[in-house]
A and B are shown apart, each in its own frame.
Chain A
Amino acid sequence: MADSAIDFARDFPGLAQDVHGVRLAYLDNAATTHMPNEVLDAVRDFETTSRANIHRGVHTLSQRATDAFDGAREQLKRFVGAGPAHELVFTSGTTEALNLVAHGLSDAGLGRPVLAAGDEIIVTALEHHANFVPWQAAARRSGAVLRVLRPDPEGRLHTEALARLLGPRTRVFAVTAGANASGERPPFEALLKMAADAGAMTVLDAAQAVGHEVPDLSSLACDFMAFSGHKMYGPMGIGALVGRRERLERLAPLRLGGDMVEWVTEQHTTFAELPARLEGGTPNVGGAVGMAAAAKFIERVGRDTIDGHVCALRRYAVDRLSELPGVRVLSADSPRTAIASFLTEDAHPHDLGTLLDHRGIAVRTGNHCAQPLLDCLGIGPTTRASFAIYNTRAEVDRLAAAVAEALRALR
């Protein structure tokens, strides 16, 4: 498995470079993955043969661009198991997708907002701020109550705890498929089902899972799922909200303007059908093409192959890091995660990150946009290594050696 990963690294030109005189070991994949040649080629091919605005002209390039955009949508719908009852809306990324849901349920843009005073929204404490702050705003806007599903001291979520929060006024349940700050992979299938059975709309932040586990909408009790291109070997600035069409129909649009309307008079506007209604303005067509090419890349390599590789690397990293004195890996026993987030006694993550960078190793340090989780766990900032198909056990060995060296220097 490690050998095949070395071959993959050759397909990723962004990785073929030295940092501070050492070969780059890129271990910040939970923030952004690199793109393989086939994705870069797909974007370049679109921009050089088909670049034009979509749905606007009768000329040849406009039709090619429209076809490319619609084709990307169909490719990505198949990728996540969306069926005839689903639709996919392109966004700038997971953050915009989640804002579109939270805003769309609490805004009066289509008449009466879906959420009303006294309704209840449940989010979990494992969330990235992108699946937390929009719900705070939605609660304020609508008068709904925000409830938080907290983890146990080990950072795990439990269905029993959710059962205690669900009630007759629960309208929304939002959960992550993988906590970016701790690496915890919650039992989101069971949590979503329990919330849906209780009558809530369900929202899944799949940003961390889509690059390896790839949640399958056809088997999930999920109304809305958000994910990003740049965490699945695709371009930055493109993402998607995919969900049940009847639920998407109820969202007030976040962006009003061109391409999302049916008919406009001086005083009144009627809106276009989905998906155009939720895609106001010129979309990132090149990004959508690249994101679809990234989905094809994942299918070609095999999602099981990628999932197996990154989860095995993570387990190896947990073992190697846990051997070091004063190092504790969060959610060490969590299944199916590509993230090893760890605490170091007497050494601050920022100092560690600077020293690792000088060994050519890219990691993320800080609070990872997840302050409520760190507060819940009673910890401060962490250092996070996260893995992709092109990473190797040798890079994990380099990480462990460099962490040991840095801790000796900083203590």
Chain B
Amino acid sequence: MNEPIEDLYQDLVLEHKRAPRHFGKLAAPTHEARGRNPSCGDDISVQLRIAEGELAEIGFVGQGCAICIASTSMMAEALYGKPLAAADALRNRFRAVLTGDGDPDDAALGKLVSLAGVRRYPNRIKCALLGWHALAHAMQQPIGGTAAPTIEEPEA
């Protein structure tokens, strides 16, 4: 295995950890959800403004490890302004790469390829997916709805 600093913590990942994109709350969100990982305390809230079938705006707040923050930041960047269907498709491709079911060189992943090394660290996969879980739940949860707004990742 390569040194993790080359494999897991590539420059692009650390750059997104230091300066996450779309970090902050939205002025007028329509959907939101919170994801927490009780084993490590990671806690990410994703807000969306959904308009005409698109993710018109994405924002997130919270705290987590470098993998969690970078993955959520790249997710927000990749999906900002995209159709809802694109979010589901990208999430499925990204998850498949991490769980070993997809091609890590998948061109459609864009910058997210820099996180493909996570698949060699099974106990870190849920770090990379926490923001994506929150996104999926947010898409199902209009603000003011009755669904519980918090999801808990099971302990590893």
Smallest CB separation, B134 vs chain A (Å): 17
Query: Which chain B residues numbered 114 to 141 have a C-beta less than 8 Å away from chain A?
Result: 121, 124, 127
Q: Type the 1/0 row for A361-399, where 1 means its CB is closer than 8 Å to any CB of B.
A: 000011100010010000011000000000000000000
List A contacts of B67 (CB < 8 A). Answer: 350-351
Smallest CB separation, B128 vs chain A (Å): 11
Taking a contact as CB atoms under 8 Å apart, the answer to whether B8 and A354 are in contact is yes
Taking a contact as CB atoms under 8 Å apart, the answer to whether A365 and B40 are in contact is yes
Taking a contact as CB atoms under 8 Å apart, the answer to whether B39 and A367 are in contact is yes
Q: In whole angstroms, how far apart are the Cα atoms of A129 and B34 in the complex?
A: 23
Q: In whole angstroms, how far apart are the Cα atoms of A354 and B4 in the complex?
A: 8
Say whether A255 faces chain B, with CB atoms less than 8 Å apart. Answer: no
List B contacts of A380 (CB < 8 A). Answer: 41, 63
> Number of B interface residues, CB 8 Å?
22
Query: Which chain B residues numbered 5 to 21 have a C-beta less than 8 Å away from chain A?
Result: 5, 8-9, 14, 17
Smallest CB separation, B25 vs chain A (Å): 20
User: Which of A350, A355, A374 is within 8 Å of B127, CB to CB?
Assistant: A350
List B contacts of A156 (CB < 8 A). Answer: none
Say whether A409 faces chain B, with CB atoms less than 8 Å apart. Answer: yes
Q: In whole angstroms, how far apart are the Cα atoms of A351 and B124 in the complex?
A: 9
Say whether B64 faces chain A, with CB atoms less than 8 Å apart. Answer: yes
List A contacts of B121 (CB < 8 A). Answer: 354
Taking a contact as CB atoms under 8 Å apart, the answer to whether A366 and B39 are in contact is yes
* Given A409-B9, A410-B66; A350-B40 close (CB under 8 Å): yes
Say whether B65 faces chain A, with CB atoms less than 8 Å apart. Answer: yes
User: Which of A20, A348, A350, A355 is within 8 Å of B5, CB to CB?
Assistant: A355
CB closest chain-B residue, reference A379: B41
Taking a contact as CB atoms under 8 Å apart, the answer to whether B9 and A20 are in contact is no
* Given A20-B1, A354-B121, A410-B9; A367-B65 close (CB under 8 Å): no
CB closest chain-A residue, reference B3: A358
List B contacts of A36 (CB < 8 A). Answer: none
* Given A20-B1, A410-B14; A354-B124 close (CB under 8 Å): yes
Smallest CB separation, A388 vs chain B (Å): 23
Q: In whole angstroms, how far apart are the Cα atoms of A366 and B36 in the complex?
A: 13
Q: Type the 1/0 row for B38-80, where 1 means its CB is closer than 8 Å to any CB of A.
A: 1111100000000000000000000111111000000000000
List A contacts of B66 (CB < 8 A). Answer: 348, 351, 410
* Given A350-B67, A350-B127, A351-B67; A366-B5 close (CB under 8 Å): no
CB closest chain-B residue, reference A409: B5
CB closest chain-B residue, reference A358: B4
CB closest chain-A residue, reference B63: A380
Taking a contact as CB atoms under 8 Å apart, the answer to whether B9 and A351 are in contact is yes
List A contacts of B1 (CB < 8 A). Answer: 20
Q: Type the 1/0 row for A275-298, where 1 means its CB is closer than 8 Å to any CB of B.
A: 000000000000000000000000
Taking a contact as CB atoms under 8 Å apart, the answer to whether A367 and B5 are in contact is no
* Given A351-B65, A351-B66, A351-B67; A381-B41 close (CB under 8 Å): yes
Smallest CB separation, A132 vs chain B (Å): 14
List A contacts of B63 (CB < 8 A). Answer: 380
User: Which of B17, B40, B68 is within 8 Å of A366, CB to CB?
Assistant: B40
Q: Type the 1/0 row for A157-191, where 1 means its CB is closer than 8 Å to any CB of B.
A: 00000000000000000000000000000000000
CB closest chain-B residue, reference A367: B41
Say whether A349 faces chain B, with CB atoms less than 8 Å apart. Answer: yes
Smallest CB separation, B50 vs chain A (Å): 30
Q: In whole angstroms, how far apart are the Cα atoms of A374 and B3 in the complex?
A: 32
CB closest chain-A residue, reference B121: A354
List A contacts of B68 (CB < 8 A). Answer: 348
Taking a contact as CB atoms under 8 Å apart, the answer to whether A350 and B3 are in contact is no
List B contacts of A355 (CB < 8 A). Answer: 4-5, 9
Taking a contact as CB atoms under 8 Å apart, the answer to whether A367 and B38 are in contact is yes
Q: Report A's interface with B, CB cutoff 8 A.
A: 20, 348-351, 354-355, 358, 365-367, 371, 374, 380-381, 409-410
CB-CB nearest 8 A-B residue pairs: A348-B65, A350-B65, A381-B41, A366-B40, A351-B66, A367-B41, A351-B65, A358-B4
Given A350-B67, A367-B41, A371-B41, 18 new contacts (CB under 8 A): A20-B1, A348-B40, A348-B66, A348-B68, A349-B40, A349-B65, A351-B9, A351-B66, A354-B124, A358-B3, A366-B39, A366-B41, A367-B40, A371-B38, A381-B40, A409-B5, A410-B9, A410-B66
